[in-house]
Amino acid sequence: MAQLTKRGLLAAVVCSDSFMKLGKAQAKVFGVPDLPLLEIKHPLGGLNMDQVRERAAVAMPQLLKFIKTSREKTATEKQS
Amino acid sequence: MTAITTLLQKPGALIECDDDPEAVFDMLCAKGWSDGFPVIPPTPERVERMLAYCDRDFDQPVIKIPPRFGAATPVRVAANAVMAGCKPEYFPLVLLALEALAEDQYNLYGTQATTHPCTPMLIFNGPVAREVGLNSGHNVMGNYFRANATIGRAVRLALVNIGAAIPGTGDMATAGTPAKFSFCVAENEESSPWEPLHVEMGYAKDTTTVTVVAAEGPHNINDHESLTPEGILRMTSGTMATTGSNNAYYAGQPVLAFGPEHAATVASKGMTKAQVKQWLFDDAVIPLSRFSEENIARRFRRRNAEQYANVPLDTPVHMWQKPDDLIIIVAGGAGKHSQYVPTFGITRAATKPLKRADGELVKSIAELKRG
């Protein structure tokens, strides 16, 4: 994801709450401190389909917001 | 070669602290530079002495340690070796272990950050291991022996202090393992009925090597009764065959460390190491039915569909992927015990020979003495 971000593509990482510290630290290490982390509830393993859908429902608005914000920022940059 | 006095002039290279061991320990713990045990304060003088057997450039990294990808330069590693309690003549073996961990197949990034309780198991072979006093006999995986305890500890401290394998932020191990303090052994080559590990891997007997394995803690195999090779191996395979092992699902190269007495019985009718590996591969199996429904459905039938999609529930599941993946050594003293060491899943062992900076093999640690 860090490489995709550096190439100018929109990229985000789905990260469970227990791993947010690791995710933030690794984003800094790989030179993309602002890499969006879409926070969902831990765990990821051992889930039934309803629990997977619950997490997707939490992640999706964060993803859409990130895409919207990024597009608005790009548009603003082009205008200026 | 950059002099240590020059390196110590770099910003942040030196930290002032009260000249008191407790104050130094408190300060290091507060900064997170610790394994929780007291350390020898890494003063400039001690770090310089630690480098007495180092023929590498002091400021050229031997590895960048993930997850921080911190540069493990000899001078930084030496500070950790001082803290661990190493003698200067141990230091080339600490660097060698770090060089081995840098090999891609070991997957240091994955093994540092995983929830699995793995840590580098360092297996030394060859003359320098004996020369510096690495223990291969009684209590080989336990306490007491300075070389084993401090070489393994120095590597672990480097992984934490340089690589930022800090629990909860860089080391996500659910529970970890006591082996994370130090897990360093020498093979008991003199008591082995087979060729030692490094010879099996193509090195000369008088070459010194380290083999690094992303290991769990060891599990004991007690067998005071068996009189035949098959008897010892049957008890061994029963200990290996467990449903919760990463090696049942993924790759990895688990280690079987035969105690010398078990090794002698197993070899008593001429079985080679390769034959032992094949025997155990065939016998250390669990029927698919012994795994939970969810694991059968997800890990086996879906993830390993090529092998398990439509097989019956009595299909045997092997404990590692290919017979030769099992690493066999002989270690320990008298007694009817052996040790089985499962591993992380996505990893392979890596072996490195001890060489001078000019590429020549080191036959004695004295060759590396500077000045």
Alpha-carbon radius of gyration of chain A: 14
- Chain B residues near residue A25 by CB distance under 8 angstroms: 67-68, 164, 169-170
Q: Which of A18, A22, A46 sits opposite B170 (nearest CB)?
A: A22
Q: Are B97 and B151 in contact (CB under 8 A)?
A: yes
Task: List, for residues B247-289, the tens digit of each pLDDT value.
Answer: 998 889 999 999 999 999 999 999 999 999 999 999 999 999 9
E strand map for chain B: 63-65, 70-72, 119-125, 184-186, 209-215, 219-222, 255-258, 285-287, 316-318, 327-330, 337-341, 350-353
The DSSP output letter for B298 is I
Does any CB of chain A come closer than 8 Å to the CB of residue B71?
A: no
- Chain A residues near residue B168 by CB distance under 8 angstroms: 21
What does the angle CA B311 – CA B312 – CA B317 come to, to the nearest 5 degrees? 75
Does any CB of chain A come closer than 8 Å to the CB of residue B293?
A: no
Quote the minimal CA–CA distance from A4 to chain B in Å. Answer: 19
Q: Backbone phi, then psi, for B148, in 5-degree steps?
A: -60, -50
Residue A79 has pLDDT above 90, yes or no: no
Please tell me the predicted confidence (pLDDT) of residue B258.
98
Please tell me the predicted confidence (pLDDT) of residue A78.
84
Does any CB of chain A come closer than 8 Å to the CB of residue B294?
A: yes
Q: How many CB atoms lie within 10 A of CB B317?
A: 23
**Contact pairs from chain A to chain B, CB under 8 Å:** 19
Please tell me the predicted confidence (pLDDT) of residue B1.
64
Domain positions in chain B are 14-284+319-354
Task: List, for residues A1-57, the tens digit of each pLDDT value.
Answer: 889 999 989 999 999 999 999 999 999 999 999 999 999 999 988 899 999 999 999
ipTM over 0.90: no
CB contact under 8 A, B67 and A25: yes
Please tell me the predicted confidence (pLDDT) of residue B358.
95
Quote the minimal CA–CA distance from A9 to chain B in Å. Answer: 24
Please tell me the predicted confidence (pLDDT) of residue B62.
96
Average pLDDT value over all residues in chain B: 96
Please tell me the predicted confidence (pLDDT) of residue B164.
96
Does any CB of chain A come closer than 8 Å to the CB of residue B100?
A: no
Please tell me the predicted confidence (pLDDT) of residue B7.
85
Please tell me the predicted confidence (pLDDT) of residue B9.
84
Chain B residue with Cα closest to A25 = B169
- Chain A residues near residue B172 by CB distance under 8 angstroms: 18-19, 22
E strand map for A1-80: 13-16, 37-40
